Structure 1
Amino acid sequence: MSVSVPISELFEHGANHPQVRHYEERATIYGVTISPEEAQDIIDRGMAYPKGIDELGIVCELEYNQPTNEIADIAIAWQPIADVELVLEVPAEQELIDCHTLLCFANSVGSRVSLLPPREQSEETLNAYLERIEDVAEKIVTMPNMARLAEPASNYLQYLMSETFMKSVGVPLKIPVNDPYIMEFFQGALDQNFIDHMKKRLKEIFIELSGGESEFEQIVLAVMNEVKVLGEQEVLKRKENLPSQFQRRLIANRRFERPAKHIPLAHKLKDNRRKAKTSIQKANTHNPLSVLLIQRSILGGY
């Protein structure tokens, strides 16, 4: 488990804080705590956000099954910041009677939810934790408009979908877990026997909600086809927005006649090509779209 980091330290050190990790050119830090006094200080600063942090995990205290008012206000203010990912981390020790309210809040502000394992692990605490994960697993595929990740249930759903799809095309490939967050906070914090049991229960829940194994496979194929279509549409859309060869030649010839602010267009073109090249991949890995699509499929949307 990571060390708790007071938000005040993060404001002081930013991306240079020793607990900040750099993954795929993104500065990430988790286990950040915000005391009531620090929350008020953030509000007094006009909801300032720590500099240089791309992904931030906030340890949430809950009131009535959702973050406290202070944390909620900060999450709402921070989430619209471009390219910033917020993770609402809920310790197993926090009372959560019904996860529906928490998931609704996270979905409304565009944040991920992470249901952390118990620090002190016993048969009693692990059973309670498993019940929480099972409840979340059911909610993420039955709640209308649920499009955000709720770890670890959402991650295993995506894994199960990918594995099912690979088998359907004759490639029974076991996909290794390479998400550093999942590896540290779940695989590294739980006994392997418990993890295997949790995966078994999640698979049973997802297949049961789908109507059976064959129905789940049909849903997965429909989802993957939809992701493929959306990815292709995005590529075509980006391609249509790219300047033609004639326009690029004209821009090159007139480059030095334009003010300096127009020069970065060539860099923008290169960036558009890069984004178009990876759009299909992002649609199925980093984007929670597959969770939303399978939820719609189960409800008869496809």
Structure 2
Amino acid sequence: MTESTVSTQIQLVTRPVGWPTARDFRTVSVDLPELAPGEVRVTNEFVSVDPYMRGRMNDVKSYAPPYVLGEAMTGGAVGRVVASASDTIKVGDVVVHQFGWRDRVQEGAAGFRVVPELSGVPLSAYLGVLGMTALTAYVGLLDVAAFKAGDTVFVSGAAGAVGSMVGQIARLKGAKRVIGSAGSPDKVALLTQKYGFDAAFNYRDGDIAGQLAAVAPDGIDVYFDNVGGEHLEAALATLNNGGRAALCGAISTYNNTEATPGPRNMVNIVGRGLTLKGFIVGNYVHHFPEFSAEMAGWLASGEIVFDETVVDGIDHAVEAFLGLLRGENTGKMVVRTVA
């Protein structure tokens, strides 16, 4: 059977105000040209959807340029090379890249990284537990928050792709106590029964500060923030003297149309000598070799486990992304582009 040279791509066509809707996107078919020297053609198997993508839909200055209207959305993906005019990448190689929301991509070989196929591990793992998602958890906890054995750690949005990794890494590195928040009773149970958290609570029950205080009577030493808003305020109320917070994301505010009020207890930063540090994982990629070695060992031994929420079909990528923003995923949300 002849390999298709048609690429189905998802484009952003209008910049969302508040919550994105399906009308902000369109699906197009693009005919790929003959390979130029040095190019490869890849059939994607999995495409990543991630919270940070919401920020790139706004035309504002940030750590990453905004998406260009009328062009295919970019982001993490993993696939297999089906045609090659490169001396370094051959047909059949599995590659990861950042060309994102499409089922086929054709670009210069420099834009792809060849990765091994691991027995019993799906290729989608390169978008989560073996990729930038888990690296975010690793460097955020160990470098940014300066975790040390004996710390009590609180993770917001702990059943998501990053949060679930943070809690498990903290446990493996000798945390005294690991606490997480999640958005449903099932996810709360998952944290303690599968991921090894010592305690967890459902933030949708309200009174986040009160719930955190109840499960952390001796306070917390490290806060890993994926949510912002009320979670950050609760953490500032609970952090012990000298506590550290790694600010990774603030998904509770991404679709707000007005400025979000800051925590009302910022004075605690001064009084308790707290350190709050925001970070972008792209500034910590030099940790990737050590992360890869440790994570591969933890996966092989079964000390790290992971979940994925898989949505089938590139034409359902927008649905997957909107579901992610609503918290419908457990673990990493990915789109499977091939049957």
TM-score (norm 2): 0.22
TM-score (norm 1): 0.24
Structure with greater proportional helix content: 1
* Structure holding more strand per residue: 2
Question: Relative contact order (C-alpha < 8 Å, sep 6+): which is higher?
Answer: 2
User: Is the radius of gyration larger for structure 1 or structure 2?
Assistant: 1
